[in-house]
Amino acid sequence: MPDFRSDTVTQPTPAMRAAMLAAPLGDDVFGDDPSVNGLQEHAAALLGFEAALFAPTGTQTNLIALMGHCQRGDEAIVGQSWHTYRWEGGGMAVLGSIQPQPVENQADGTLALADIAAAIKPDDPHFARTRLVVLENTTGGRVLPTPYVAQVAELARSRQLAMHLDGARLFNAAAANAEANGTDVYDEARALAAHFDSVSLCLSKGLGAPVGSLLLGSRDFIARARRTRKMLGGGMRQAGVLAAAGQHALEHHVRRLADDHALLRQLAEGLAEAGRSHPVLAGRLGVASANTNILFTDLHADVAPAFTDWLARHGVRVTSGLYAGQTRLRWVTHLDVTPQQVAEALDCVQKFKG
């Protein structure tokens, strides 16, 4: 039965494990792990940056980037729902002494340009110095439109602000754009990243590596990032064993993200059908949104406990939370979810008796 909780639950494939075992290793704190260096060079070239840094988590690459752009007392503009603001334990404030300036997210996940502009503080001793705009792509599975990203970048440049992308799922965004435009996924990823001074991306989400994130930026930015990583406790030694998994993922698990997206559409259609015609769930189960590899469904309060319990008892694992008075379930497709499992999950939904 499928584990839809997150794309972080994937197991390394046999080929990935073989690559990890075969990786030449050194001490990366001394800068001489060939597998880490190889991954960093490969990723920088792949995404059009001068340099890259391998770190344990996306929380850490985001924090390193924020600390690279903002000094103590500076301010970063973020979305209310951004991972950097909401889901990283307040790290930018706690560890970076950076003031977050959250902006309300629009229904499509974007931050309105006017809201960003209004949040930028004038140069006045009363105010923190606004230094940075952070975007997140994908966000809640949604892809930020490329023209929108370009507009935010233009606004940021015109006000001398830096731009950071939390691209934990950058390649999911790129895969969606590649499919929509009939283009190459790596070209789309490079195009998305081009608007930013720094980008962080996760190897441990849809790409299927067990551990690891990358931070991309200029040579100078990454040199400073290396010091911050050490300070935050992210300097790892024979990290090439992990970098090799990341390298394998970048080479072999990017194009297949389109399969996860196709599977999610199938799941969304089946759940939407249950929301229309199932004897108990009709009118009580709604597909709130389904994009790239993430799907949200909202359940009416009178069926929510029984239905979530039914799924759990049958081994269909999802995450659940409360949203606007309803129970919102999150379903994520990934490397370890098969078409067969999606069919089984939909069958399990069909058999729900209330």
Ligand X SMILES: *Cc1c(COP(=O)(O)O)cnc(C)c1O
| Closest distance of CB 30 from ligand X, Å | 25
Whose CB is nearest to ligand X?
58
| Closest distance of CB 138 from ligand X, Å | 8
Residues 6+ apart with CB under 8 A from 311: 317, 318, 329, 348, 349
Torsion angles phi and psi, residue 203, rounded to 5? -90, -15
H-only helix segments in 127-169: 146-158
Of 142 and 278, the one with the shorter C-beta distance to ligand X is 142
Of 91 and 286, the one with the shorter C-beta distance to ligand X is 91
Binding site for ligand X (CB under 6 A): 57-59, 62, 83, 136, 166, 168, 202, 204-205, 213
Which SS3 state, helix, strand or coil, does residue 311 take? helix
**What is the rounded CA–CA span in Å between residue 307 and residue 297?**
12
| Closest distance of CB 63 from ligand X, Å | 9
**What is the rounded CA–CA span in Å between residue 262 and residue 252?**
18
| Closest distance of CB 87 from ligand X, Å | 7
Beta bridge partners of 331: 295
Of 59 and 291, the one with the shorter C-beta distance to ligand X is 59
| Closest distance of CB 166 from ligand X, Å | 5
**What is the rounded CA–CA span in Å between residue 195 and residue 163?**
8
| Closest distance of CB 216 from ligand X, Å | 14
Beta bridge partners of 102: 78
Of 83 and 131, the one with the shorter C-beta distance to ligand X is 83
Of 166 and 274, the one with the shorter C-beta distance to ligand X is 166
Of 204 and 247, the one with the shorter C-beta distance to ligand X is 204
Number of Cβ within 10 Å of residue 72's Cβ equals 9
Contact 293, 171 (CB under 8 A): no
Our CA angle for 303, 306, 307, nearest 5°, is: 75
